[in-house]
């Protein structure tokens, strides 16, 4: 036993010296690392080897101190202290990560993040998924998964726990900040395959496109939507990025490319200390020059903010969002680096900057140009009730184009001349017989006030010249 102990300790020390020498050699070759930093690394890696050795040979439960598990935990702990978005992806999780961007996977149908408060948070439920049907809302805090607290959980570990075999169940405990309630939800996992665009026409004059995620098909999905709208000979366009949690950088650039002239800066990324700035420019002839309104809210994140920032900075479109709220503020770049054992390192390597040089991350999001006075609870309720993209009857009627099964587009086509934008459809009552609040209680209805404002803007012609000016 003693011989085996000493042998293994010598092996660990030799491994530590080998790693240290390799790092020092790399430091000499890289000007960003001084010899003194390499010395510090040597001192700390020596301590790490000592701790690893002592834990492996003295910790009371031997099954918990296997080398692979200890090193993996050390890596995860190191990355966790950097930011919520950097992570180590073991082989299976790396494969799951790649599946995410293809738009098909098994799970609950929510996008999640860990904001500054440290709690696992729902960025948005995806339409027509188990979580959406259960009533999970954007902003909900997942405080437990199957009875285990999520405090301090790594986001990749959370994803691993939430996913599973199709037909199996997982219980999540939701804390809802709006009413400070805590409720258990047992949800059956299902295959998550989501249409990525919803397309409508409004009064045969304006097109509406809702983009769900910036996955690998986002650019092609948007082309399909624009093709459908081309057949309608529309006069203006609404791009809805609300509750869009982002996705791939190249898709954000390609989506922006469809609305900008060639060679316009869409976004730039800057690495450590502002070095190595890389601009991303529009490369093709604009797909659409129509007047544009972009809908955003506090759950529009990452790639959504790139598109919104480009449209805002170039004056290409007007951003409409909730009063007093900015977009999510996720403006950092994660680079996925495959490792030798089929695992990967996902690490924050840069930040996004809008065409005018504003940091999405540091400024904590993008402020809408025009703000609509609605509270956060209203937005969540609108989404959960399937009322996103529902207009008051006085504004317009809607024709659904794609996808054919979308319940959100089941809008009444009758016009009600006496309704006002402040009233929900169907609430025209005899004012002498009952108050407005009593009528609302009897027939509650929610319509999309941000969308109504977008239509109002397009009808007012206030932005009709903006696109033509940019393309001169």
For the segment 270-315, what is each residue's pLDDT rounded down to a tens digit? Answer: 988 766 789 999 999 999 999 999 999 998 999 999 999 999 999 9
Pick the most confident of 131-145, 251-265, 270-284, 345-359. 251-265
Q: Please report the pLDDT score of residue 397 as a whole number.
A: 76
Residue 23, CB half-sphere, CA atoms under 13 Å: how many? 20
User: Cβ distance 179 to 173 under 8 Å?
Assistant: no
The domain segmentation of the chain, as residue ranges, is 2-65, 104-193, 197-390+463-470
| Cis geometry, peptide bond prior to residue 403 (ω within 30 degrees of 0) | yes
Q: Do 146 and 158 form a contact (C-beta atoms < 8 A)? A: no
Query: Taking residues 317-339, what's their average pLDDT?
Result: 91
Annotated active-site residue 341? The verdict is: no
* 427, pLDDT greater than 70: no
pLDDT tens-digit readout, 329-377: 988 888 889 998 888 998 888 899 999 999 998 888 999 999 999 877 7
In the set 86, 302, 304, 332, the catalytic residue is 302
d(CA 427, CA 420): 10
Catalytically annotated residue among 264, 330, 390, 449: 330
Digit-coded pLDDT (tens) for 174-204: 999 888 899 999 999 998 776 788 899 998 8
First to last CA, the chain: 81
Across 35-44, 264-273, 379-388, 403-412, the highest mean pLDDT is recorded for 264-273
Lowest mean pLDDT segment, chosen from 58-67, 103-112, 181-190: 103-112
CATH number of 197-390+463-470: 3.90.226.10
The pLDDT confidence band at residue 436, using thresholds 50, 70 and 90, is very low
Catalytic residue among 313, 346, 387, 449: 313
Q: Is pLDDT of 20 > 90?
A: no
Helix axes 35-58, 2-29, angle to 10 degrees: 160
Annotated catalytic residue 390: no
Report the pLDDT averaged over residues 199-224: 92
Q: What percent of the chain has pLDDT over 70?
A: 78
Q: Which pLDDT value is given to residue 37? A: 67
Is-catalytic flag, 245? no
Does the pLDDT value for residue 417 go beyond 60?
Answer: no
Higher pLDDT among residues 61 and 403, named by residue: 61
Same CATH topology for 104-193 and 197-390+463-470?
no
pLDDT tens digits for range 66-91: 888 888 888 888 888 888 788 888 88
Name the phi and psi angles at 352, rounded to 5. Answer: -85, 140
Please enumerate in sequence order all residues whose Cβ is within 8 A of that of 159, keeping only pairs 6 or more positions apart, or say none.
93, 96, 107, 112
What CATH class has 104-193? mainly beta
């Amino acid at each position: 036993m003693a011989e085996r102990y000493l042998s293994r300790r010598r092996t660990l020390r030799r491994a530590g010296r080998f790693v240290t020498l390799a790092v020092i050699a790399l430091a000499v070759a890289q000007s960003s690392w001084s010899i003194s930093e390499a010395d510090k690394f040597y001192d700390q890696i020596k301590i790490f080897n000592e701790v690893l050795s002592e834990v492996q040979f003295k910790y009371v439960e031997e099954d918990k101190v296997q080398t692979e598990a200890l090193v993996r935990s050390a890596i995860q702990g190191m990355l966790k202290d950097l930011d919520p978005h950097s992570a180590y992806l073991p082989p299976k999780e790396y494969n799951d990560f790649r599946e995410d961007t293809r738009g098909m996977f098994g799970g609950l149908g929510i996008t999640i993040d860990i904001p500054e408060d440290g709690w696992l948070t729902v960025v948005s439920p995806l339409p027509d998924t188990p979580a959406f049907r259960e009533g999970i809302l954007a902003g909900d805090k997942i405080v437990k998964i199957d009875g285990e607290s999520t405090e301090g959980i790594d986001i990749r570990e959370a994803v691993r726990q939430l996913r599973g075999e199709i037909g199996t169940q997982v219980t999540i405990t939701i804390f809802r900040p709006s009413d400070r309630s805590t409720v258990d939800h047992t949800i059956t996992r299902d295959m998550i395959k989501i249409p990525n665009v919803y397309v409508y026409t409004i009064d045969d004059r304006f097109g509406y496109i809702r983009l769900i995620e910036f996955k690998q098909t986002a650019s092609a999905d948007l082309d399909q939507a624009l093709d459908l709208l081309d057949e309608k000979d529309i006069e203006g366009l609404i791009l809805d990025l609300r509750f869009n949690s982002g996705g791939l950088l190249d898709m954000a650039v390609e989506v922006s490319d469809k609305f900008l002239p060639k060679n316009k800066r869409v976004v730039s990324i800057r690495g450590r200390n502002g070095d190595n700035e890389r601009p991303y420019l529009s490369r093709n002839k604009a797909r659409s020059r129509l007047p544009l309104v972009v809908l955003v809210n506090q759950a529009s994140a990452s790639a959504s903010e790139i598109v919104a920032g480009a449209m805002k900075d170039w004056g290409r479109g007007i951003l409409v969002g909730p009063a007093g709220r900015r977009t999510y503020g996720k403006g950092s770049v994660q680079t996925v680096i495959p490792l030798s054992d089929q695992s990967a390192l996902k690490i924050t390597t840069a930040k996004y900057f809008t065409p005018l040089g504003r940091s999405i991350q540091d400024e904590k999001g993008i402020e809408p140009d025009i703000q609509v006075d609605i509270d956060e609870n209203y937005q969540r309720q609108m989404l959960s009730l399937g009322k996103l993209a529902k207009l008051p009857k006085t504004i317009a009627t809607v024709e659904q184009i794609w996808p054919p099964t979308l319940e959100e587009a089941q809008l009444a086509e009758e016009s009600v001349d006496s309704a006002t934008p402040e009233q929900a459809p169907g609430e025209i009552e005899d004012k002498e017989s009952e108050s407005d609040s009593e009528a609302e209680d009897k027939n509650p209805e929610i319509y999309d006030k941000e969308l109504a404002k977008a239509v109002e803007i397009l009808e007012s012609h206030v932005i009709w010249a903006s696109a033509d000016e940019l393309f001169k």
